[in-house]
Amino acid sequence: MIKVLSASATDVGLRRINNEDASLTLPELGLFALSDGMGGAAAGEIASKYFIDTVSEVFINQNQASVSEESLCTLVQDAFRLSNQRIINHAIEHPHDQGMGCTGELLIFHVDRYLIGHVGDSRIYLFREGKLRQITKDHSLVQLQVDQGIITSEEARMHPMKNIILRALGSNPALSLDIIKGTVQINDMFLLCSDGLSDMVADAEIQYTLASTQTVEYKVQSLVNAANSAGGKDNITVILCLVESV
């Protein structure tokens, strides 16, 4: 059984009047999720809430220790599939919310393993042995251009179309989902964040903050403060999970 110490924070930022991010932290279940909504009016808030509520509904009565990794993978897929359909159905029933959608990040720990479900351009990082690594890959236009060698990673950070995403919950009934698996080590730190952090704060600064000897709560608030200090152009949501024992 993995013991995880976690902390989270969300902030509207300096340019927005409402917060379309949503998150879920259930350390007793080894379950963490994050979503960044998009759409007119309050539609983004509704979409991200659909995802978080559905994840909770799918996993809340599950005993992770008694199920296989394959079964957990199926549950992850179910959570994304069901929330995707609920968002689509909502947009059909409420035409003024057409175009609504959200990103989805789900991290679950099982025995000595982690399992991730990922759609969109919110991110999950792993900080291990002093090094920060982005585990997920952005489903965005600029990331596609980076992969094709059209632009560099540095150019992608300031690209005017960096917020155009190619996959999102609510955009396509045939949702394409990334499933990522790996082995957990003691002292691993997993960072889930919306692009309100990753667009404003460089990976090097994130790594520096996580490498400090401060508490997880302090590190989370430091990252939120750094994003606002850099301009706070979007909502900022951060979840940090420290693996204390495996």
Can you say how many angstroms the Cα of residue 159 is from the centroid of all Cα atoms in its chain? 21
pLDDT on residue 40? 67
> Which tokens go with 151?
């632009």
Residue of 113, 62, 135 lying closest to 246 (CA atoms): 113
What's the rounded Cα separation, in Å, for the pair 80 and 106?
9
pLDDT on residue 161? 85
120 phi, psi to nearest 5 deg:
105, -155
pLDDT on residue 229? 98
How do the pLDDT tens digits run along the chain, 246 residues long?
789 999 999 999 999 999 999 999 999 999 999 999 998 667 999 999 999 999 999 998 776 667 899 999 999 999 999 999 999 999 999 999 999 999 999 999 999 999 999 999 999 999 999 999 999 999 999 989 988 999 988 788 778 887 889 999 999 999 999 999 999 999 999 999 999 999 999 999 999 999 999 999 999 999 999 999 999 999 999 999 999 998
What's the rounded Cα separation, in Å, for the pair 91 and 110?
35
Give how many domains the chain has, as a whole number. 1
pTM of the full structure:
0.95
Residue of 152, 56, 36, 29 lying closest to 100 (CA atoms): 36
Q: Domain with 31 in it: what CATH number?
A: 3.60.40.10
Domain interval for residue 98: 3-245
What's the rounded Cα separation, in Å, for the pair 198 and 211?
17
What's the rounded Cα separation, in Å, for the pair 234 and 194?
9
Rg (CA), the chain: 17
